[in-house]
Structure 1
Amino acid sequence: MRNFLAIMSGIAALLGAAPALAAQPEPWQARFQPAATSIMEQITWFEQYTLWFIVPIVILVMVLLAWAVFRYRASANPTPSRTSHNTLIEVVWTVGPVVILLFLAVPSFQLLTAQYTPDEDPQLTVKATANQWNWDYEYQVDDPLYFNSAILAEDARAEAGKEDKSVYPRLLAVDNELVVPVDTTVRVLVTASDVIHAFAMPAFGIKVDAVPGRINETWFNARKEGLYYGQCSELCGKDHAFMPIAIRVVSNEQYENWAVAARDDLGTANKALMAAVEGDTKVAAAGN
């Protein structure tokens, strides 16, 4: 009986498995997406760290305002004080903020330095060129690979094999994802062909402007395989809301196979990669 239940559970997991999903926006989301890079982990820590200062300060200010309104209202204090200053209070509200700002500035500068200083030399460089309203990607390797990535049309889902909206959500799914290997430092050169855009991937902790005639640089090292979603984050025209970014992080072997096949037929290579990813996910879900 136990063996039968185990087999049935494995079959159910196999049939119900979906392609690996890493991070995407959720309805009514109030927190960050799960961190996929060390930089995003540091950003998440810093945000939580600052709350230890922000929350007490807000509470203190609210309490002081309420006390001042109640204690010094006209009916309770018909003759207001004419005290012009108080030395102790002046010292406290000068030194206090300076100390608080120092506690915020030191980790802030450390994080800023880390964002511009990869732990190692980039192993892969991709140029991302923003257009109204899609992205051109160029893999700067010995045999360069170029392709365009645009929002996935609803009537193209079936042909692309992307009908599952929990994995390929409306307004975020694209026809061709940017594919990169896991645990690899990737340098992204960002520019634009027309107006100012912005390349943003929340789970990676990156957001950089795409400016015509200028190349900005960022980097990431994704630690977890899966599909990540971002968007253009600079108002760039009427279809600004329809300019998603999708990055698929895969194993090194899957990436190498995809890169070779994509030079001949990008669509076929993408479908083969999706099948490989889905196959690995089903095996993991079945407990093999």
Structure 2
Amino acid sequence: MPLWGSKSFQDSYYWVGEYLSFFHEGVMCLIVFILSFVLYVVFWVLKTGSSFRFFQEAQAVETIWTVIPSLCLVGVGLPSMHLLYLMDEIGSPSFSFKAIGHQWYWSYEFMGNEADVLGFDSFMVEGTESGYRLLDVDQRMVAPSNMGIRCMVSSEDVIHSFAVPGCMLKVDAIPGRINEIPMTVSMSGILYGQCSEICGANHSFMPIVIEFIPPKIFNRWHSVIKSIEGVKVL
């Protein structure tokens, strides 16, 4: 969870998220440096009162202000494309689940032990006794940690957005289409998220909660999932 007044991203549970944070910080440092340099040059020109209206050519300066920005763009573009490739690489996941957006709640589907498709609806709970206000749900999605996971996202009615900041995850849920994204969470914990698309009047009341647990405990949970109240065979 982010702390009050925090000016940076949340600590990422997904290993790609750490590289995204480093990339964001590097780009911000580059932007601040360029802005500071430009402001310094503008201030120096205004202070000296020099006029450069009669300059006819300055090939060295033109070369510099063409080559250096090009190198900056290449330095930003290469790691950006590499991170996009890593975030889209599915590979061979060990566990897959499907998140379906509704007005205004989420439902989850995944495979059971006997080739059955199991699913349940996840609604926001009232009050703050059981967790965070406007963020906790009655049925959490449970997934294994330290294991490749494929998350498939779709919608039943309007466009939603499945966003979990702790995983640097944000996927549009579009009716009639399935978007998928991989993730590998490196530790156990409970991650919170919300719909990040304005999908209607109760848009802010459809939170996302994913509980990551060790694989051994997940296998036990998976073996008795049919007996849990609210879980249905599809």
Common fold by TM > 0.5: yes
Partner of 1:199: 162
Partner of 1:250: 213
Whole-Å Cα distance in 1 between the matches of residues 63 and 206 of structure 2?
A: 51
Whole-Å Cα distance in 2 between the matches of residues 114 and 91 of structure 1?
A: 35
Per-residue CA deviation, residues 18-65 of structure 1 (Å, 9 max, x unaligned), is xxxxxx232222111111111111111212222342221121122122
Whole-Å Cα distance in 1 between the matches of residues 22 and 12 of structure 2?
A: 10
Q: Read off the aligned partner of 2:192 and give its amino acid letter.
A: Y
1:140-155 → structure 2 map (5 Å cutoff): 140-141=111-112, 142-154=115-127
Residue segments in structure 1 that go unaligned for 5+ positions in a row: 1-23, 163-167, 269-288
Aligned length: 229
Whole-Å Cα distance in 1 between the matches of residues 213 and 52 of structure 2?
A: 70
**Out of 72, 94, 109, which is 1:138 matched to?**
109
Partner of 2:84: 112
Q: Read off the aligned partner of 1:194 and give its amino acid letter.
A: D
The sequence identity of aligned pairs, in percent, is: 33
SS at match of 1:263: helix
Does the 8 Å contact 1:39/1:115 carry over to 2?
Answer: yes
Does the 8 Å contact 1:127/1:140 carry over to 2?
Answer: no
Seen in structure 2, the aligned counterparts of structure 1 residues 213 and 84 have a Cα distance that, compared at 3 Å, is farther
Whole-Å Cα distance in 1 between the matches of residues 109 and 176 of structure 2?
A: 17
**Out of 67, 74, 82, which is 1:95 matched to?**
67
Shift of 1:258: 2.1
Per-residue CA deviation, residues 137-189 of structure 1 (Å, 9 max, x unaligned), is 001342221001121112xx65xxx1xxxxx2111111111100111111111
**Out of 42, 52, 60, which is 1:65 matched to?**
42
Partner of 2:188: 225
Shift of 1:267: 6.1
In proportion to residue count, which structure has more helix? 1
Shift of 1:135: 0.5
Per-residue CA deviation, residues 76-105 of structure 1 (Å, 9 max, x unaligned), is x6x773335532222111111101111111
Whole-Å Cα distance in 2 between the matches of residues 111 and 40 of structure 1?
A: 9
TM-score of the superposition, structure 2-length normalised?
A: 0.90
Partner of 1:128: 99
- Is the deviation greater in 63-72 or in 27-36? 63-72
Whole-Å Cα distance in 1 between the matches of residues 5 and 168 of structure 2?
A: 20
Residue segments in structure 2 that go unaligned for 5+ positions in a row: none
